Chains A and B, each alone.
Chain A
C-alpha cells in the first residue's frame, strides 16, 4: 500500500503500530478539520512494522509534538513544505508534560477536582513523570491519557 505524498504539512513516521491511534488522539487529530491520512502495519526497514500519520497544512508546536514521545519514542517528525522535507527530527521527551496525561493516583486532586494535570519528567529514558500536585510517579506502564 502506498500512502500518497502531501504538499504541505507534517508527517509523523516510525510510530509503533500499537500506538497509532493513541497518537491520533493525543494530537487531537480526531477533531481536526484538515485532511489526515494514517496507516499502520506498514513495512519498515528499521522496525519491521510501523505506523505513519500525515496531516495536511498543519504544523505542530514543538511542545505538542514532544508529547507523543511519551508513547512513541521512536517516532520521527517530518515537516513538508511544497513537497520538500524542510525538517526531519526524532521526537524528544519533554521536561514537563501538561494536561494530556492522567495522574495514576485516583486520590490526586487532578482526578477529583477540575484541575489540569502537570508533571515533571524525572526520567526521560524510562519515561517517569512526577505529578506536580500529589507527587506520585506515573510511568509508561500505568500511563493513561485525558
Chain B
C-alpha cells in the first residue's frame, strides 16, 4: 500500500482492507504513537466537513505529525480561479500526503494522477468516501466478530447516500445478505446493484423498516434529505416511516448494532442512544483509529 493513493473502495483488495482493520485495532489499544514525527499532512477541504477533517487531524496529531491546509475554499486560491491541478501540484510540494474533500465527483482520482504525493479521498461529491467505508467495516467487524456471512440492513436514502454505496460494494467481498429499506424514490441505484448481482449475493428490498429489523445483524441508518424529493408532499409522507426508535428494536436479534455515518437529524430517536444496540458514537471514534492505520500504511511507516 506504500505510496498508493486511496481514492475508491475498490482500489484495495480484501486482504488490504483486513490489513488496515488489523492495524486500526493496534491503534485502538495504543492511540498515541509518534510515528509521523517530521511528516506534514495537508488537509484540503474544498467543501466543509468538520467531522471528517477533525477526525483526520486528530489521527495525524496523535501520531505526532503536522497538519497544514484549509477548511473551505473561501480561504484558498481556488477562489481566485486556480485550477484543481495547479492547487494539487503546488500543495504536493509542501507535504508528504494530501487528504482532500471536494464537491466534484472524480476530483480525487484526477488529483492522484497529477500529485507527486499520495492522496486520500475524504469524499468526492456523491461518489466515494473510502475512509468512512473502512471505519464502517471496522465497526461491523468489531461488533460482530467477523465480516463474513452477515445480514446487513441499509435504511433511508440508498439512492444518494455515498456511504451506503461504498459500504455495500465493499461488503460484496464478504458474502453479505442485503436488506435494502428505502422509499420507492430512493432505492439503491442499479450501478451499485451490479456489484451485488455480479457476486450472486441475495438482496431484498423493503419500504417498511419493521420488516427488515428482525433479520439484521447490522442496521446501517442514513438521513433522508428533504431536498432529494421533487414533491414536498412525498417527503412528508415518508419522513416518519424511517424513524428508528427504541420500541422498534424489541424484535431485533441480540447481536444487532445500529450504525450511522452521522450527523443524524431525526432518523434515530434519542431514546435509542442508551440502548445496547446503539453504536454510532463509538463508530465515529473508530474513525480516528482507522485513519491512523491508513496513514501508517500509505506512508509505509
Contact = CB atoms under 8 A, between A and B. Distances in A.
Contacts of A132: 106, 109
Contacts of B8: 135
A86 interface: no
B106 A108 contact: yes
A25 interface: no
Contacts of B301: none
A77 to B, nearest CB: 31
A109 B83 contact: no
A41 to B, nearest CB: 37
B83 A135 contact: no
A133 B110 contact: yes
A52 B124 CA distance: 44
A133 B106 contact: yes
Nearest to B125: A107
A133 B191 contact: no
A133 B125 contact: no
Interface string A125-140: 0000001111111000
Interface in B108-127: 109-110, 124-127
Contact of B106 (A114, A134, A137): A134
Contact of A115 (B110, B128, B191): B110
A64 to B, nearest CB: 23
A87 interface: no
A137 B191 contact: yes
Contacts of B103: 107
Given A105-B105, A107-B105, A136-B105, A113 B84 contact: yes
B104 interface: yes
Contacts of A131: 106
A113 B105 contact: no
B104 A113 contact: yes
B191 A136 contact: yes
Given A113-B83, A114-B83, A115-B110, A135 B127 contact: yes
A143 B280 CA distance: 41
Q: Which of B106, B125, B126 has the most CB of A within 10 A?
A: B106
Nearest to B10: A135
29 contacts: A105-B105, A107-B103, A107-B104, A107-B125, A107-B126, A108-B104, A108-B105, A109-B84, A109-B104, A109-B105, A109-B107, A109-B109, A109-B110, A110-B106, A112-B104, A113-B83, A113-B107, A113-B110, A114-B85, A131-B106, A132-B106, A133-B105, A133-B106, A133-B107, A134-B106, A135-B106, A135-B128, A135-B191, A137-B191
Interface of A: 105, 107-110, 112-115, 131-137
Q: Which 6 A-B pairs have the closest CB atoms?
A: A133-B106, A134-B105, A134-B106, A109-B106, A109-B107, A133-B109
